[in-house]
Amino acid sequence: MIPVSSHTLSIDGLHKRFGALHVLRGIDMQFEPGSVTAILGHNGSGKTTLIKTILGLVKPDAGRLFFDGQKLSADAAYRARIGYMPQIARFPENLTGTELLAMLKDLRGNPAALDEELLGAFALKNELAKPLRTLSGGTRQKVSAVIAFLFQPSFIILDEPTAGLDPVASRVLKDKIIDEREKGTTFVLTSHLLSEVEELADRIVFLLDGQIRFAGTATDLKATTGHPELERAIAHLMTEAAA
């Protein structure tokens, strides 16, 4: 049994199948408050299914999830405390950015406490007046980042967050992540940029074939594999598992 009281999110014995395909095989994980956990693995390793399970979009076949010490059930209210930035944002294309944010605020009951810092940091004021369908991929990514932080969630999932961002915007977002982590926000990060992982992640979880093959710090991983570079250390894990 995993103690859950000290964790923002705890996952205990998670299994998920899609037909004959066993996608998640007994996942046990804990996400500490005020930390960044990077979930790494090749395509098909189970990362997306794990994220969708946390978001309540996929129902596990076995296992339990606890959020702030409470076991998750059919009640999806906990999702209001989770921010999510998908790798590719899907927006109502006929709306402007301003209309989209107004709609989301209305759906949340127009809370007074909002985090709109990234609107200014990304200089989005003029862009929000335009229909979302006309925005560049990078600008849409900025809007997605704004939404992820907007309602001051305690837990934020960032799926390839800097993909498509220019270097200035990427730096703005990474600084925001660091600042919010210091305030106690918990992050889950997926990224193919290992330099980004090394900069931001307190802990790395490496998935392979639906199982956790490593969980620890980047320093631990390098020491375990005997490789001083994170990229080579990850490659070593993949090669070793395939042998």
Q: List, for residues 107-125, the tens digit of each pLDDT value.
A: 999 998 999 999 999 999 8
d(CA 51, CA 66): 14
d(CA 56, CA 135): 29
d(CA 101, CA 119): 11
Give the pLDDT mean for 178-205. 95
Q: How confident is the model at residue 213 (pLDDT cuts 50, 70, 90)?
A: very high
Decide: helix, strand or coil at residue 119. Answer: helix
Stretch (H or E) spanning 49: helix 47-54
DSSP 171: H
d(CA 35, CA 171): 19
Burial label, 112 (beta-carbon count in 10 A; 0-12, 13-18, 19+)? exposed
Q: Which residues of 65-97 are buried (b: 16+ CB within 10 A; e: fewer)?
A: bbbeeeebeeeeebbeebbbbbeebebeeeebb
The reported pLDDT for the residue numbered 51 is: 94
Extents of the domains making up the chain = 9-242
The reported pLDDT for the residue numbered 241 is: 64
Positive or negative torsion for Cα 59, 187, 191, 79: positive
The reported pLDDT for the residue numbered 8 is: 83
149 has pLDDT over 90: yes
Decide: helix, strand or coil at residue 22. Answer: strand
1 has pLDDT over 60: no
At the fourth CATH level, which superfamily is domain 9-242? Answer: P-loop containing nucleotide triphosphate hydrolases (3.40.50.300)
Contacts of 169 (CB under 8 A, 6+ apart): 122, 138, 141, 142, 162
The sheet carrying 211-216 orders its strands as: 82-85, 155-159, 186-190, 36-40, 203-208, 211-216
Which tens digit of pLDDT belongs to each residue from 41-85? 888 889 999 999 999 899 999 999 998 888 877 667 788 889 999
